[in-house]
Amino acid sequence: MSSSGPAQLRCALCDQTIGPGASYVVRIDVFADPEPLYLTSKQIEAVDLTATLSEVLQQIEHMSADELQDGVHRRIEYRLCPGCQRRYLANPLGMPRGVRIGSN
């Protein structure tokens, strides 16, 4: 019987090996806007529900299960080392940062 310990964790950004208990978990939930769509009774009456349903079915007919799921909710999880965790928190979306006044 072989005893293998827990799998070695690697940082998702720098690929450095991370020791036990030293990683940070980043979870990203991307989901459809939960705000309800408010329609007036006139707007509801003006909608042809049969035609609308037919259009939606045509749109999704050639979509994969993953594409359909992505339209509703997707959870992504990464493990980061301490250094990458600090960099991630400083700029989680990786957006370009403006030049600070007084910096070269």
29-60 confidence digits (pLDDT tens): 999 988 888 889 998 888 888 998 899 899 89
Is 67 within the bounds of a domain? yes
Q: For residue 34, what pLDDT is reported?
A: 87
Q: For residue 8, what pLDDT is reported?
A: 86
Q: Given the structure tokens 């045509």, which residue do they identify?
A: 58
Q: Residue 79: which of 19, 29, 37, 6 has the closest Cα?
A: 19
Mean pLDDT lowest among 1-5, 19-23, 54-58, 65-69: 1-5
Q: For residue 27, what pLDDT is reported?
A: 97
Buried b (16+ CB within 10 A) or exposed e, 42-54: eeeeeeeeeeeee
Please state, in angstroms and rounded to a whole number, the distance separating the CA atoms of residues 21 and 25: 11
Is 97 within the bounds of a domain? no
Q: For residue 1, what pLDDT is reported?
A: 46
Is 96 within the bounds of a domain? no
34: Cβ–Cβ under 8 A, 6 or more apart, which residues? none
Paired with 18 in beta bridges are 9
Higher confidence at residue 14 or residue 6? 14
Pairing type for strands 24-31 and 73-80 reads antiparallel
Q: How many domains does the chain have?
A: 1
Is 26 within the bounds of a domain? yes
The three-state secondary structure class of 79 is: strand
Is 1 within the bounds of a domain? no
Q: Structural domain of residue 79, as residue ranges? A: 10-90
Please state, in angstroms and rounded to a whole number, the distance separating the CA atoms of residues 55 and 49: 10
